[in-house]
């Protein structure tokens, strides 16, 4: 059964919210010491990346400001090369890029809702 692409966009927002909840006011060192939180964060990065993989190409082309390929590539590292996940890079993504991505995806959801007949 084919899933509607807007649900994948909602999954992205949900995964980002979960990551932000898991991080809370923690530092990178706190996350590195808390394996359960680190695992939960990585799992939601996987979900986020998998959702991006399922967004139709025409939607990705319509919104080129979203770094779709970078997100997919990082997801591939997390899933297929899990032993080399660099938590410093992950922390940079969490602290500098996720909120921007969440806002971009929310905007896309709003715009796409308007375009539905």
Distance, in Å, from the CA atom of 110 to the CA atom of 92, rounded to the nearest integer, reads 27
Q: Is 35 a catalytic residue?
A: no
Q: List the catalytic residue out of 6, 25, 35, 80.
A: 80
75 assigned to active site: yes
Q: Out of 3, 25, 35, 75, which one is annotated catalytic?
A: 75
Q: How many angstroms separate the CA atoms of 7 and 85, rounded?
A: 27
Query: CA separation (Å) from 85 to 6, 45, 74, 77?
Result: 29, 11, 9, 7
* Contacts with 42 (C-beta within 8 Å, 6 or more apart), sequence order: 78, 82, 85, 90
Active-site positions read 75, 80
């Amino acid at each position: 059964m084919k899933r509607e692409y807007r649900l994948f966009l909602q999954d992205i927002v949900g995964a980002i919210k979960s990551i932000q909840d898991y991080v809370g006011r923690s530092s990178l060192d706190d996350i590195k010491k808390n394996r359960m939180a680190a695992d939960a964060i990585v799992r939601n990065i996987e979900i986020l990346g998998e959702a991006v993989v399922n967004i139709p190409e025409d939607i990705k082309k319509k919104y080129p400001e979203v770094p779709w390929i970078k997100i997919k590539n990082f997801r591939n590292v997390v899933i297929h090369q899990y032993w080399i996940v660099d938590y410093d890079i992950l922390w940079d993504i969490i602290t500098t890029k996720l909120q921007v991505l969440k806002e971009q995806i929310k905007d896309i959801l709003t715009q796409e809702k308007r375009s539905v007949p």
